[in-house]
Structure 1
Amino acid sequence: MNRYDEHDQARWVPEPPGDPERGAFERDRARVMHSASLRRLAAKTQVVTPSDHSLHSNRTRLTHSLECAQIGREMGKILGRDPDLVETACLAHDLGHPPFGHNGEVALNELAAPCGGFQGNAQNLRLLTRLEAKVLTEDGRSAGLNLTRAALDAVCKYPWTSDTCRVPGVPQARDGRPYCVYPDDAPIFAWVREGTPDYRVSFEAQIMDWADDVAYSVHDLEDALHCGHVTPEALRDPEERLEVCRLTREWYAPDADLAELAETFARLVTDPIWPARFAGPFVGGLDDLASLKRLTSSLIGRFCRSAQDATREAYAYRPEPPAGRHSADLVVPRTTRLECALLKGVTAHYVMSREAHHATQALQRELIAELASLIAAGAPATLEPALRPAFENAPDDAGRLRAVVDQIASLTDVSAVAWRRRLA
């Protein structure tokens, strides 16, 4: 049964038929895979900066995106969705992140307040439909990668604007409620969501979102154990675990109480999936490394199977899974969500809450503010050639500021430092 019709496979700018042996979503995947925006993620922060050589195993946004794509593709296939479509969404889900990760996002959101703010998810859609050069409209404007409607919708895990983001059931994030579109990108967003119930997140986007959670919760824990920020002994200490539970509730699970989190955490860390070798300190030998990889694989399998089994049971996948991109929801059991949130809490407590990490973040925010002033003072000459027309043709100061913000968001951690040095 073909679950995707012409409406799903339509593109904003109509294109001649491509290779008949390649599907529309295969073409989408290839476009994201070969994009400059994806390559730049290799030098963008995941949790700690890629240039911190003391953490030689840490992930970047690119490695995280590739890992997310592998998890999402397999889940999509098992749940009866097009695997290329889900993989495309996973590869594209972090393209809008600026230099220095979420810290850079906070800094840019403050700077961009006069033009509507900054949100990495909204920047994703902007990149895919406007900033990443691939296809031009008849009047010479960029249509970005010109992905299919289904692919763009699968990237929109918060399908509403900043003005309409107070949606029931959507939690308040630590740095504001998330959204997926800026006001000046509303026309393409309306086209993407044509025929879709308001605020309804596609099945593919839900799979992508869970694959994202699984990938970064498990792999960030792996990195933290590998580099010594987290020790097996700490995870066995009830008092240490309680501190993690407190931060987890504050940042990731506000609907859970401490007793529930503590009980869930205790069950998780005493599960047989934890290697027996972790009874002592992690020293990085071959046995330790192999044990850590087995733990990583076990946790990913645990989280994915739980969601897959619950979803198939809820929708009675007999004889076929539900058709339609908005006909079903991914079902993740509460205990599984809490376990995943607790792994995020471990990294948050032992890595993101360190004083040295906070000091580094403060310097990064200062750099972004200074860089914005330097670029704005010399614009349009200080902008890359592809972004200069947006600044020159902007009708007001807000439009010109948005062009400056787009420029900064495109930079990597390393290039942001280099640009500040060059322009100062």
Structure 2
Amino acid sequence: MGVYGDEARERYVVEPPKRSGRSSFERDRARIVHSSALRRLAGKTQVMGAGTDDFVRNRLTHSLEVAQVARELGKSLGCDPEIVDSAALAHDLGHPPFGHNGEIALDQVAASIGGFEGNAQTLRILTRLEAKTFSPQGQSVGLNLTRATLAACVKYPWRRGERDTVKFGVYDDDVPVFEWLGTQGRLTIEAQVMDLSDDIAYSVHDVEDGVVGGWLSLVGDLDTPGSWHVARDWYDPTATDDRLDAALARLRAMGEWPVGPFTGDRASQAVLKSLTSALIGRFAGAAYEATVKRWGHGPLVRYDGQLEVPPETLDEINVLKSLAAHHIMRADLRVRDLENQRDLLHALVAHLRQVGEAELEPEFAADFRAAPDDAHRLRVIVDQVASLTDASAVAWGRRVLG
């Protein structure tokens, strides 16, 4: 789109002109689609373990669904659809095996070197770890995406400790390329679209997976007291029972909300699919209407405006996320599994610290040899473990830990 200037199309390392006829942003998306990091998401946990059920989402299918929501919402606001699509496809590239649980484990083992954060790891993958482009000095610059696309991938444009949140978007090692982005702590509207689309997709689809898997039912008693505790612990500490009760009541008043239990037959599946479609349209539509009411019809790109999401919509999204979290992630059986997963990642990192480069994959072994000190070598080991899928982490555990 013509509203993006030369600054938005610049790459960290200058590349020769291309003759393919594709735009710079189309090439960005192609680079992400063809990346090994995206393929690995097929083997990483979304809510339930990847491969445990043929129906449930993994990180790759989740990312594809986020991209669909983001592309439509972004396009309606005037964003280049390739940019928001790319950001959505890339948003979970930094997630380690076992999803957020793996993120907790790696943050613990990396505490002495600035911790681990999935979003900071995404930036590291895009600008360093994924093999595509090298600088004239012989350093990997990852996929070498345009400034506009890379900035759209950054959900937390600050370093650890700079904001009152455990979330952050860059490790100390990667500050130079982060400063090149020039975000100055601001989210582009494309990044905001990606972030909301992520919330919409996983709030709706995690509930869908939970219903199909038999973890929760949308009829009868939904055990809201437990769910609302999770809502405050994980998502919004200001949320009151009254607000969340009202949000759930609005959702249950929708014509698409099921009136009978899920049985698994095609008719029951169709009812559930009708609900998921209606919820996505409800949430994205509310954000679109609020944004154009505040900022006009645009086009809105980069730092031209803010994505506006009504508080009532945020409450409704948090209700769905909390129902899934309470009934699935905090279930007793899952809690035991989560402990085992964290123990495995701790043990893998400890083992690799002992044996050094010998058991690292070739690209990480090269990074290990080039690392100037123990801190940088530990970061390389964390990069290696974070790259594993759920299944390969278990396989590594069997092979190197017995």
Please classify the TM superposition score into its range, dividing by the shorter chain length: over 0.9
SS of match in other structure, 1:162: coil
Q: State which of 198, 201, 225 in structure 1 corresponds to 2:187.
A: 201
Partners of 1:279 and 1:181 in 2: CA distance: 46
Contact kept? 1:73, 1:84, Cα under 8 Å: yes
Counterpart for residue 158 of structure 2:
160
1:192 is aligned to 2:181: yes
Q: State which of 313, 316, 326 in structure 1 corresponds to 2:296.
A: 316
Contact kept? 2:44, 2:58, Cα under 8 Å: yes
1:293 is aligned to 2:273: yes
Counterpart for residue 345 of structure 1:
322
TM-score by length of 1: 0.92
Contact kept? 1:241, 1:265, Cα under 8 Å: no
Counterpart for residue 390 of structure 2:
413
TM-score by length of 2: 0.97
Aligned pair count reads 401
Structure 1 residue 20: deviation in Å? 4.9
Counterpart amino acid of residue 228 in structure 2: C
Identity within the alignment, %? 48
Counterpart amino acid of residue 44 in structure 1: K
Partners of 2:312 and 2:188 in 1: CA distance: 23
1:180 is aligned to 2:180: no
Partners of 2:307 and 2:124 in 1: CA distance: 26
Deviations along 1:36-61, one digit per CA (max 9) or x if unpaired, are 000000000001101323xx311000
Partners of 1:244 and 1:18 in 2: CA distance: 52
SS of match in other structure, 2:291: helix
Counterpart for residue 242 of structure 2:
259
Structure 1 residue 245: deviation in Å? 2.3
Deviations along 1:283-317, one digit per CA (max 9) or x if unpaired, are 11110011111111000000010001110111122
Q: State which of 310, 330, 338 in structure 2 corresponds to 1:333.
A: 310
Contact kept? 1:264, 1:338, Cα under 8 Å: yes
Q: How is 1:43-122 mapped onto 2 (pairs within 5 angstroms)?
A: 43-53=43-53, 56-122=54-120
Counterpart for residue 35 of structure 2:
35
Partners of 1:180 and 1:189 in 2: CA distance: 9
Q: State which of 356, 361, 379 in structure 2 corresponds to 1:379.
A: 356
Moved more, 240-249 or 104-113: 240-249
Alignment gaps of 5+ in structure 2: none
Which consecutive segments of 4 or more residues in structure 1 shift more than 4 A?
none
Counterpart amino acid of residue 93 in structure 1: H
Counterpart for residue 205 of structure 2:
219
Counterpart amino acid of residue 191 in structure 1: W
Structure 1 residue 254: deviation in Å? 1.3
Counterpart for residue 241 of structure 1:
224
Contact kept? 1:315, 1:321, Cα under 8 Å: no
Partners of 2:238 and 2:270 in 1: CA distance: 36
Contact kept? 1:72, 1:208, Cα under 8 Å: yes
Contact kept? 2:43, 2:59, Cα under 8 Å: yes
